[in-house]
Amino acid sequence: KMAGSSTPWIGSAYLFLQSTCKTLVLPSLYESSQKKPSVFKALKLALADSTGSMNGVDMLKVHCSHPHLIVQLKFCKQENCRRFLQSYREGALQKSLQNHLQVSLAMTTVPLEMELKAGNEHLDNILKDEDRCLECIYREKPDRLRDEEITELEECLKSLILHQSINNHMTVKDYPSVNFPPLPNPSQGSSLSPQVTFIFQGQQFANRTLTPDDHQKFAKLVSKKWKQVGRSLQKNCRALRDPVIDNLALEYDREGLYEQAYQLLLRFIQSEGKKATIARLIAALEENGLISLAEELLGLHSNEDCS
């Protein structure tokens, strides 16, 4: 049994989305304050279709990691997860999302590729073994609370659907063409983006929230200096005080440096949410002389040893 009768069944997975059309870049659309609500609405409705309920699966965070849009999912009931997996396996989720994106973005077609991961497991390789997929998802507990931005978008969607349902007696499925008010533009001082750009080695880079890919690269390459980086990050992060860093060192000593570093950055991301940005991590790496790791995270592909 994956969970006792008194324990709620909770699991997590990442859905990777990529358009196969070169002129349609999903992360760019999601980063646009005008298009973001439309993309979110399509995601929400497609996920609702896959489980048969608007609450069947929860979106915790949407990461923009070009060329992928990565959606962190949380499942609270095994039967909802089964329905989702069946819909994903049969291609129904993909077709539903393509249709909702077409309507939301007013496009003729939105060709998509999808990939589903839980931890290090690529679930696409084992989709026929549903129980094993469920076990992988159940093993991966959600590592964060829902992002504030997701909550804002959900509230907007719910209120509009409720308003339309009361006035027109429409169901959610009858409701594909809501027009959301645009979110504030980050360049206009919105709280959605604490810092739009930053300078590293004389070059300007776009700031962004840390991605799962950043997280894994950091854990893999930071080696023994993970504690020093943690102490640099703690200046503006209460969740990384010295006792926390020391406890991580003890708690994950057997698992080794990768897991210690991974858990450190996980605490940072969990506590800071959308304020856990690449700029803050790069500054901490610079402070500790980890220039080649910073270059790796920014896609400059240095081959120097960063440990």
pLDDT digits (tens, 9 = 90+) for 86-136: 999 999 999 999 999 998 888 888 899 999 999 889 999 999 999 999 999
Name which of 222, 238, 223, 241 is nearest 281 in CA terms: 222
Using CA atoms, how far apart are residues 86 and 74, in angstroms rounded to an integer? 16
The pLDDT of residue 175 is 40
Using CA atoms, how far apart are residues 243 and 251, in angstroms rounded to an integer? 12
On the question of pLDDT at 280 being above 90, the answer is yes
Collapsing DSSP to helix, strand or coil, 52 comes out as: coil
The pLDDT of residue 210 is 93
Using CA atoms, how far apart are residues 273 and 61, in angstroms rounded to an integer? 9
Which tens digits make up the pLDDT trace of 231-272? 999 988 888 988 889 989 998 999 899 999 999 999 999 888
Task: Specify the higher pLDDT residue, 304 or 252.
Answer: 252
Domain 11-153 shares a fold with domain 197-298: no
Collapsing DSSP to helix, strand or coil, 202 comes out as: coil
On the question of pLDDT at 72 being above 90, the answer is yes
Which tens digits make up the pLDDT trace of 36-61? 999 999 999 999 999 998 889 999 99
Using CA atoms, how far apart are residues 111 and 200, in angstroms rounded to an integer? 36
Angle made by CA atoms 186, 270, 296, in degrees to the nearest 5: 70
> What tokens were used for 167?
């006035």
- Is the pTM of the predicted complex or chain greater than 0.75? no
Using CA atoms, how far apart are residues 274 and 270, in angstroms rounded to an integer? 9
Q: Report how far apart the first and last C-alpha atoms of the chain are (Å, whole number).
A: 42
Percent pLDDT > 90 in the chain is 57
The pLDDT of residue 114 is 97
The pLDDT of residue 163 is 59
How do the domains of the chain map onto residue ranges?
Answer: 11-153, 197-298
The pLDDT of residue 170 is 43
The pLDDT of residue 261 is 95
Sign, CA torsion 220/11/121/48:
negative
Q: Which amino acid is at 305?
A: D
Using CA atoms, how far apart are residues 48 and 114, in angstroms rounded to an integer? 17
Task: Specify the higher pLDDT residue, 124 or 32.
Answer: 124
What is the torsion angle, in degrees rounded to the nearest 10, for the CA atoms of residue 36, residue 40, residue 46 and residue 51? 170
Place of tokens 């010295």: 242
Mean pLDDT, the chain, whole residue set: 85
Q: Cβ-count burial of 19 within 10 angstroms (0-12 exposed, 13-18 middle, 19+ buried)?
A: buried
Of the CATH numbers 1.20.58.710, 3.40.50.300, 3.30.70.680, 3.90.25.10, which one belongs to the domain with range 11-153?
3.30.70.680
- Checking 126-129 for CB contacts under 8 A at 24+ apart, the result is 127/85, 127/88, 127/89, 128/89
The pLDDT of residue 183 is 42
Q: What single DSSP character describes residue 306?
A: -
In which band, very low, low, confident or very high, does the pLDDT at 167 lie, cut at 50, 70 and 90?
low
The pLDDT of residue 145 is 86
Q: What architecture is domain 197-298?
A: Orthogonal Bundle (1.10)
> What tokens were used for 160?
């509009």
The pLDDT of residue 227 is 95
| 205: Cα within 13 Å, side-chain hemisphere | 21
